[in-house]
Structure 1
Amino acid sequence: MKIDSVGSNILSLSEFKRLIQVFIELRCQLKPLKPLRPQDSELAGIVKKESFFAIELIELTRYSRYWTLPYVHAFFSCSGAGCKEDRLPIYKICLDTALTISKYLTVCSVTYDKVINPVQTFMCSTILPIMAKSSNVESHKLICEEIEKRITKSPYDPNGGSENKKWFIERISNDLFDNGKRAHIVCVLSGILEEIRCDKDLCHINEQFFSWEKFQFDVEHIYARANFSREDETNSRIYNSIGNLMVLDRNINRSIKDAPVSVKVEKYVGSKFSAVVLVNQKIKKTSTKVWKLEQVQDRLAEQCTLLCEYLGLDL
């Protein structure tokens, strides 16, 4: 399909069939009907864990409308691939490309409170044409180069300094909880990265974060908001940061409510999240099982490093 032709928005019958084939084939690799296990997907053996969830990571952002990009990319890239074995390496590159795109959309979703036009323009005027006109490998390289140039910079001034990096760190370090969407994006991404860092398998990650009908979670203040508002209000901005926030099993969160940390540690033991296990270990290392300003600042520094390194903001 030539995207610059007069009838470019109309697929031929053969193109439409290929689009359906690619969608079904890739979707079944990522979301098999039976419980997700590495042996159920040939892609699971060749794709890194982050890329396997690239579509969900795009959906997590304010720009969830671009969840179709891996399928669009695969459609353009699979033109000459006759059998599934030939298409699997193509799907891998498409997912790796989508993961890179998800990182850019994540940063812009955190630094800004809403969808902004410069990001939409970049996606439609730069990213999509590269997918349509370049080979699979070349398009991956070109898209990664474009995003690497822009991810630390303001979308309003792509030739400027590192405003995006500065604003991203500012957003996650102060009053993160005051914007629900932003807090959800950051805490879920942090939780997923902790699972990967602890070498949890695809089935575990999928069930914890992307099977809502089976398992629910909340964003949890470790040092409860009601308590720090009363005991240490002057530091409330940092207590609302990623240093004091994490994902937590909903049943545990609803049972502990605003309990002191010394009580919470006993309930945290039953959590299925690696992030909670790690926090619990830190609390228990203190002689009095406390989680106050010092502990929050330490975790904040760790989380800034974890997130910035993953997103490519340490460039």
Structure 2
Amino acid sequence: MTAGAAAANALLVNLTTRFIVSTAFFTVARLGVADALRDAPRSPADLAATVGADPRALARCLGALAAHGLFRELDDGRFALNEPARLLCRDVPGSYLPYALQVAGFFDSAAAFERAVRDGGTPFAHHYGTPIFEHLAQHPALGAHFDGAMQALHGIETAAMLEACDLAGATTFADIGGGNGDVLAATLARYPAMRGVLFERPAVLERTRERLAEHPAAARIDYVAGDFFAAVPVRADCYYLRHVLHDWDDAACRTILGHLAAGAPRGARVLLGEALLEPPNQAGIGRDMDLVMLQFTGGWQRSAADFATLLEDAGLDFVGVTPTASMISVVEARKR
């Protein structure tokens, strides 16, 4: 076998079996293995007795995950936390566990992936009977959990955005579709003279209002309930949309941006926090997130050029792209 043939075979094996690694990851997250390892390394038998698992099966899951960089297998067979695994603990800063459990809970919808590719739509909607955001609205407990999952997934991006972007010239910062308010709260903490606006659906807004009631910047936050497909009645000199447009197709994005532009003053900055789609044949988080959008929302990731076109169509002048230390870049435009 030539080196090229061997590499091709290895790639196919990897793609064929990758879902099993994800399944092992979800299982370990559900079992609470990371929390069971918080204090010290433990043997598979000891660990299995604590979390309720078969020792050998658990050891094999952890061994595979350790080979991928999650957890650490010691020479004596015990397992320990490493930095990525520590983020699977509950109640640690930046915990990833809520997002892992959210995706694990919807994993069975992946069975409808082929149907969605053949017939259109999303695997999620084919499996559950409704699009994801309708499903979350119909199940408030799931919606609240989704908010926590988004915080877990995207929390690190807030600090990265604030480090990369100078917002000192803004007097009012509007977070459009701002979810649990973490971005807005962090931004107002960084800029004490700034006011903030959180624009969200009513159910989400009420949860966020309660959550931020005791925040030091609470008196500087205005809450506006609405639907950005109907109107964005918010006036600010800086607007931020993080991971909003990737949930929607181009027509929907033009509607959202058009409504935002209609209410924005001339010269207002519009910032889009998005994982940009990589060029053809280049691996990266953008390509992976694109499949996540196919699975759940029906939207897609876009390149900087794609965003420039959408922005220009909405009456916004594309300014440029600022990379950050996280997976997102900040696409900037200004109202004409």
Asked if Structure 1 and Structure 2 have the same fold, meaning a TM-score greater than 0.5 normalized by the shorter chain, the answer is no
Structure having the higher helix fraction is: 1
Structure having the higher strand fraction is: 2
TM-score (norm 1): 0.29
